[in-house]
Amino acid sequence: MLTAKDKTKVERWAKKWRNRLLLNAYTVEVEFCLNPDPDDRGEEVCKAEVHIDPKYLRIEIKIYPFFWEQTGVEQERTIVHELVHTHSHGLKMLACESKRPSNKRISKENETLVEIVTNIMWDAYS
Ligand SMILES: [Zn+2]
């Protein structure tokens, strides 16, 4: 049974890691889904997924029932993973475009990603 305490714990992790991953400009919302496969995809059940809206600086993390079958450490790491997706979202969108993106655009997105990861590592070890 999902308790208010469980929800608060996940929301705290989301805020803590949003800040650590330098995503402070974003609003993070966590949605707790009771249905393991709400879109009827019939695929392997997922623990969590993220929807990123770079225009309105919004991150929505959806938590599925399988999430709770992990250990606490694994749950927190799943939150980190979903948030890190935000940094490569632009790159992913470019790759998904039907038109081949220009090398200049790919290069710019990649440099942004590299700089962000560099900042994170620098902060963590200095
Ligand atoms: Zn992922």
CATH no. for residue 50?
3.30.2010
pLDDT band at 18 (very low <50, low <70, confident <90, very high): very high
- Number of neighbouring beta carbons within 10 Å of residue 84: 17
Domain tally, the chain: 1
Rg, the chain, Cα only: 16
pLDDT band at 38 (very low <50, low <70, confident <90, very high): confident
- Number of neighbouring beta carbons within 10 Å of residue 67: 23
Task: Look at residue 125 and tell me whether its pLDDT is greater than 90.
Answer: no
pLDDT band at 57 (very low <50, low <70, confident <90, very high): very high
H/E/C letters for each residue in the chain? CCCHHHHHHHHHHHHHHHHHCCCCCCEEEEEECCCCCCCCCCCCCCCEEEEEECCCCEEEEEECHHHHHCCHHHHHHHHHHHHHHHHHHHHHHHHHCCCCCCHHHHHHHHHHHHHHHHHHHHHHHC
Distance from residue 48's CA to the centre of ligand 1 (Å):
9
Residue written as tokens 């770079």? 54
Give residue 118's domain range.
4-125
Distance from residue 80's CA to the centre of ligand 1 (Å):
10
Distance from residue 78's CA to the centre of ligand 1 (Å):
9
